[in-house]
């Protein structure tokens, strides 16, 4: 089966945004529609955690006592994140991939189509509460904590102004009033238009 709308040259799509903004759902939709491989930075971190003796499972593992212990260990050693980013950079260079990553849009300066998903903390907390079956107040506390930790982490590692400097991105998608499927469709449309434009340039 032919890869739908893909250009002759391999493409890479890099999706970023704050926690619980809809990155994974959209990446899955794009990967399925265009037959791309979906690689998540968070999953790679979990692989490292597993190698260190942790037993990560489920999207809410990061908020468990074991997950938080791993996060503390990760904070003390920047090589955790740098190893993940090296692996992601290689995937981007190979192409035909959709990446979800907090840092790669800034690090992969001239590679790939970069999408930033935007949503308020309250909207993201509602999504997290529904996904992980927790109350909204607790979810909002988790979101605020994660936002702050991510900003501090990537500023310390790379000098990145995560969530503030959006200059690396080709498109910013406001997901506040969109369902998960609508976010996936909007992002998939952008990828299709990007692929078509690349085809046209290639044929000239």
The domain that contains 90 carries what CATH number?
A: 3.40.50.300
74 falls within a domain: yes
Count of domains for the chain: 1
Which one is predicted more confidently, 149 or 62?
149
Residue 155 belongs to domain spanning: 19-203
Q: Is pLDDT at 118 greater than 90 in this prediction?
A: yes
CA-nearest of 71, 35, 158, 146 to 108 is 158
1 falls within a domain: no
169 falls within a domain: yes
Please tell me the predicted confidence (pLDDT) of residue 2: 35
Location of structure tokens 């260190």: 52
CB burial class (10 A; 0-12, 13-18, 19+) of residue 170? middle
Q: Is pLDDT at 4 greater than 50 in this prediction?
A: no
Q: Is pLDDT at 204 greater than 50 in this prediction?
A: yes
Residue 90 main-chain phi, psi, to 5 deg: -65, -40
What gap in Å lies between CA 132 and CA 139, rounded to an integer? 9
189 falls within a domain: yes
195 falls within a domain: yes
Asked if 104 and 28 count as a contact pair (C-beta separation under 8 A), the reply is no
Q: Is pLDDT at 1 greater than 80 in this prediction?
A: no
Please tell me the predicted confidence (pLDDT) of residue 12: 93
Q: pLDDT tens, 135-170?
A: 999 999 999 999 998 999 999 999 999 999 999 999
Considering only 64-73, 79-88, 194-203, which range has the smallest mean pLDDT? Answer: 194-203
Q: Is pLDDT at 198 greater than 80 in this prediction?
A: no
Mean pLDDT of the chain: 88
What gap in Å lies between CA 147 and CA 123, rounded to an integer? 14
Please tell me the predicted confidence (pLDDT) of residue 201: 67
109 falls within a domain: yes
141 falls within a domain: yes
Q: Is pLDDT at 59 greater than 90 in this prediction?
A: no
CA-nearest of 103, 66, 61 to 82 is 103
112 falls within a domain: yes
């Amino acid at each position: 089966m032919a890869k739908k709308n893909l250009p002759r040259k391999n493409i890479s799509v890099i999706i970023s945004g704050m926690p619980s903004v809809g990155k994974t759902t959209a990446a899955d939709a794009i990967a399925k529609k265009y037959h791309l491989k979906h690689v998540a930075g968070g999953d790679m971190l979990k692989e490292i955690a597993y190698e260190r003796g942790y037993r990560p499972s489920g999207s809410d593992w990061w908020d468990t006592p074991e997950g938080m212990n791993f996060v503390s260990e990760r904070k003390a050693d920047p090589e955790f994140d740098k190893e993940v980013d090296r692996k992601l950079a290689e995937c981007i260079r190979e192409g035909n991939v959709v990446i979800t990553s907090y840092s790669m849009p800034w690090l992969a300066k001239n590679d790939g189509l970069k999408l930033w998903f935007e949503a308020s903390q309250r909207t993201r907390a509602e999504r997290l509460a529904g996904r992980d079956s927790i109350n909204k107040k607790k979810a909002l506390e988790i979101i605020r904590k994660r936002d702050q930790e991510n900003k501090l982490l990537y500023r310390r590692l790379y000098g990145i102004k995560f969530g503030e400097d959006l200059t690396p991105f080709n498109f910013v998608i406001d997901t506040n009033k969109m369902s998960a499927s609508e976010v996936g469709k909007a992002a998939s449309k952008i990828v299709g238009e990007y692929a078509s434009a690349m085809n046209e340039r290639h044929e000239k």
